[in-house]
Structure 1
Amino acid sequence: MVFSSEQFLFLFLPLFLLAYYMTPVAKRSWTIVAGSYLFYAWWRVDFLFLLIGTTAWTYYFGLKIQEHDGSKRAKIFCAIGVAGCLAVLGVFKYLNFFIDSFAALAGTTPDQLGVHWRLILPIGISFYVFQSISYLVDIYRKDAPATRSFIDFAAFIALFPQLIAGPILRYKDLAGQISHRVHSVNMFVDGVSRFTVGLAKKVLLADAVAPIADASFALSDPTFAEAFLGMLAYSLQLYFDFSGYSDMAIGLGMMMGFRFIENFNRPYISRSITEFWRRWHISLSVWLRDYLYIPLGGNRKGVRRTYFNLITVMLLGGLWHGASWTFVIWGAWHGCWLAIERATRWSYTSHKYWISLPVTFLLVMIGWVVFRAETVGSAFTIYCGLVGLNGFALRADYLVGLTQDSFIFLLLSLAIVALEGRIVTFFNPGSSEPQVTPGGQMVLSASASYRQIANSVLLSALMVLTVAKLAEQSFSPFLYFQF
């Protein structure tokens, strides 16, 4: 079940929210667990037991670390707990990859080696395993206490708004909200608004430009124009698809009284790769920094070690996205640029905006090519097109099957990326401070009132358009479900 499906919007979500608000406040973690497990089991019931098992494992070792706080046993229990979580991730996400790679090195195939099975990747495993690891490490570091309530912890791990594709949450940031959170009509309405924006990003923008990307990456000899359009379209598709999911997750959390961290901050206006990773998938960037980069030594062990740490962390970050050499190369691409910027002391504030922004955007898009490609060879095909080895113009056979609407939405998506900050500012009445009358009554200014009206009209229109589009299009899962 995905957020952009009719069964979620018109069946699961209304029934869950009804049950949630009918449940006494002290027992709402039970409702979250039941609803989240149902949500996950909608995909496959068998893998629900893996989620429950990982939750129980992490909960137990969290208690043992707390019990032996300050002793060597705490470190041992932390190591065992983290190793168990990594083992789950390693087996289900990377075993197929290692078998395929070994067979390729041996010049044969898995079938010829006697391996006739393939493991299915459980959806969301990368996210809930990372959350489990951070929980154990935070307890060991004394950054957070272990919870005694298994239900509260299970609710944290299985919280369905972010279970499948993040944001990656940390228990220490959410513990207070799990035990006590504020519910209000204003917060619920804000959550509906945020969810609507995310749904519109996914259905009206990401899905609309996807055919252009698919058409380009399906070609065996793309021209420059075809390769560039495909690269641009996928960059926009991925952003609106993933940021749309994050908006929907944050909105759903607000409907339930939770405040999740932001996961995106206009990443395509970045003027360096370093800045890009402060704006893109922020929860993953912070996780990699706190649980990989800093433990490896960060920038405290000399220049060479700093470069090594940057590249290593990004390699592992690439591998986290998927068990494929394409993701390793993508991680290496970003890691090398981070090291280069640090070595050259690149500062985006000291360079002209009209130079640093398009250069950074181009570097990011070049990386998305290998991220999107199914194989390294497929990525190389697009790169050949980008340097003009197959010609430069659009061909008639490429345009077959593509509608004019796809290209219109491509331009619209690009315009929204460029003007996103101004759009958000205009349609956010809360950005204007209310005026206080002599009697102490707070009232919105005229401009804020107009913004509030415009906001309501826009969101209503977005919801109508999105639902209408959902009714006519086929199933389209979120891109990050595969990770």
Structure 2
Amino acid sequence: MQPYSSPFYFVYLGLALIPIVIAHSFGKKLMWYQVLFTIAFLWFTFAGSVTLWALLFFGVFETILIKIYEYYRITLKKNIFFVFVLILLLSILPLFLVKLNPVIDPAHPQSIFGFLGISYVTFKTVNIILEIRDGLIKEVPLKEYFYFLYFFPTISSGPIDRFRRFRKEMEAPVAKNYSEMVGKGIFYIFQGFLYKFIIGYLLDTYVLHILAISATVHPTFLNMMGSMYSYGLYLFFDFAGYSLFVIGVSSIMGYDIPHNFNKPFLSKNIKDFWNRWHMSLSFWFRDFVAMRFMKTIMVKKWTKNMVLIANLGYLASMGLMGFWHGFTWYYILYGFYHAFLLIGYDAWVRMKKKRKWKIPNNRWTTAVSIFITFNLVFIGFLIFSGIPNYAIMHALNHDFPLPNF
């Protein structure tokens, strides 16, 4: 059973959380039970399928890589760039094979290396390798590492946490505001029910599915726009609801993990949007792709043009994000679409400054900014949905399968 996939799942989850709540109420973390809880729910999720072995193989493989690099970088105090790149590429290899498999073998898109959440645990391991190289992580104790890697609430869909933050919270005593955390956790879970099982379900069943099929079989401007808005809203409520479940359960367990969404459709510009939408992912790509790539360009002195450096950073991070979603043209186009939106927004800011345009900042200009950003973002969702691709393929071949959202 997939995590948080049905209301009945929460009955088992609620019963399993009771000992953790009681222990925290007496100032005890009961770590042995938390580990047992994680193992039990991982088994509940993955048992009886090849993905359980993929999950175990991934954990062993990544642990060997991290411990080798830890010994090399911290104990031997060496820092040869080739070794770092080799370890990094090997750590990404399982995810790369999983994403590549549907392209190589469309008839069997599920790779034997794949399991639910492989992307998010890969981001965790890459984070550790990068921070070992930077000297920010001095050691990787196996007990804390395994619990961080396999932390059950976040394993399937994030949010993407950072090892140093999680370890600090794991080793700290029970939070003094734990009762408040439980209250927030319960609130987040019920809010998640509203988002995912009510609003998301209604959008998917009575709006999106009908419009998506209509846009595929007989595409018109109106049903394409309807598909665009309904898909974007469904994507938000479904994923935000899922994230709220994760945050709520983690909060009840005593962990204040990062949030993923912060009213993204009230964003005033595209940069503001990426500071509000899937924040743990966008911040991860910002910190570990864009900023590092830009720093490398400056250190290597490939160019001194700061505008070009920033633009290359956008192309690298958002382009890679597109490839991460899948090696399909509309995912890749989605990534570069947002890169060019960011580049365009920076150009607009520079033009305003250069020409000394004084645009008033009031509720009307704010509303216009939100409206423009909202529609640009939803055009991106239409690209991401693949609906135009299904429409084209259906026009070329009437036997082509219809989209299934």
State TM-score, norm by structure 1: 0.69
Which residue of 2 is the match for residue 209 of structure 1?
203
Which residue of 1 is the match for residue 193 of structure 2?
199
Which residue of 2 is the match for residue 34 of structure 1?
39
Match of 1:123 among 104, 109, 116: 116
Summarize deviations over 1:233-283 as a string: whole Å, max 9, x none: 111111111111111111100110101011111110112111111110110
- CA contact 2:260–2:277 (8 Å) conserved in 1: yes
Match of 2:255 among 245, 253, 258: 258
Summarize deviations over 1:157-184 as a string: whole Å, max 9, x none: 1112111111011111111122335263
AA paired with 1:156?
F
2:365 aligned with 1:371? no
CA distance in 2, matches of 1:213, 1:379: 18
- CA contact 2:21–2:252 (8 Å) conserved in 1: no
CA distance in 2, matches of 1:46, 1:195: 30
- CA contact 1:278–1:285 (8 Å) conserved in 2: yes
Which residue of 2 is the match for residue 93 of structure 1?
99
CA distance in 2, matches of 1:193, 1:117: 40
- CA contact 2:259–2:279 (8 Å) conserved in 1: yes
Match of 1:189 among 183, 192, 195: 183
Summarize deviations over 1:179-211 as a string: whole Å, max 9, x none: 335263332222111111112111111111113
CA distance in 2, matches of 1:128, 1:233: 30
Structure 1 runs not aligned, ≥5 long: 101-109, 111-115, 383-476
Q: Residue 279 and residue 177 in structure 1: after superposition, are their counterparts in 2 closer, same or farther (change >3 A)?
A: same
AA paired with 1:147?
V
Summarize deviations over 1:56-78 as a string: whole Å, max 9, x none: 33333333333333633675554
Q: Which moved more, 1:276-285 or 1:27-36?
A: 27-36
Summarize deviations over 1:13-44 as a string: whole Å, max 9, x none: 423544786797242452244134224315x5
CA distance in 1, matches of 2:308, 2:392: 30
Match of 2:170 among 178, 185, 189: 178
2:340 aligned with 1:323? no
2:231 aligned with 1:234? yes
Alignment of 1:41-440 (within 5 A): 41-42=46-47, 45-69=49-73, 71-72=77-78, 78-97=84-103, 99=104, 117-120=108-111, 121-148=114-141, 150-182=142-174, 184-211=178-205, 212-219=207-214, 220-297=217-294, 300=298, 301=303, 302=305, 303-345=307-349, 352-373=365-386, 376-378=389-391
Structure 2 runs not aligned, ≥5 long: 353-357, 396-403
CA distance in 1, matches of 2:360, 2:245: 36
Q: Residue 83 and residue 47 in structure 1: after superposition, are their counterparts in 2 closer, same or farther (change >3 A)?
A: same
AA paired with 2:146?
A
CA distance in 1, matches of 2:22, 2:89: 38
- CA contact 2:192–2:244 (8 Å) conserved in 1: yes
CA distance in 2, matches of 1:363, 1:306: 21
- CA contact 1:66–1:139 (8 Å) conserved in 2: yes
- CA contact 1:250–1:259 (8 Å) conserved in 2: yes
Q: Residue 117 and residue 240 in structure 1: after superposition, are their counterparts in 2 closer, same or farther (change >3 A)?
A: closer
Summarize deviations over 1:270-298 as a string: whole Å, max 9, x none: 12111111110110111101111112116
AA paired with 1:88?
P
What is the count of residue pairs matched by the alignment?
367
CA distance in 2, matches of 1:305, 1:326: 26
- CA contact 1:243–1:263 (8 Å) conserved in 2: yes
CA distance in 2, matches of 1:380, 1:277: 31
CA distance in 2, matches of 1:17, 1:379: 52
- CA contact 1:202–1:245 (8 Å) conserved in 2: yes
Q: Residue 20 and residue 64 in structure 1: after superposition, are their counterparts in 2 closer, same or farther (change >3 A)?
A: farther
CA distance in 2, matches of 1:40, 1:333: 36
CA distance in 1, matches of 2:32, 2:3: 26
Alignment of 1:20-31 (within 5 A): 25-31=30-36
- CA contact 2:79–2:133 (8 Å) conserved in 1: no
Partner secondary structure for residue 181 of structure 2: helix
Query: Quick check: which has more Rg, 1 or 2?
Result: 1
Report how far residue 81 of structure 1 moved.
3.2
Partner secondary structure for residue 349 of structure 2: coil
Which residue of 1 is the match for residue 401 of structure 2?
none
Q: What is the aligned-residue identity percentage? A: 22
- CA contact 1:139–1:145 (8 Å) conserved in 2: yes
State TM-score, norm by structure 2: 0.81
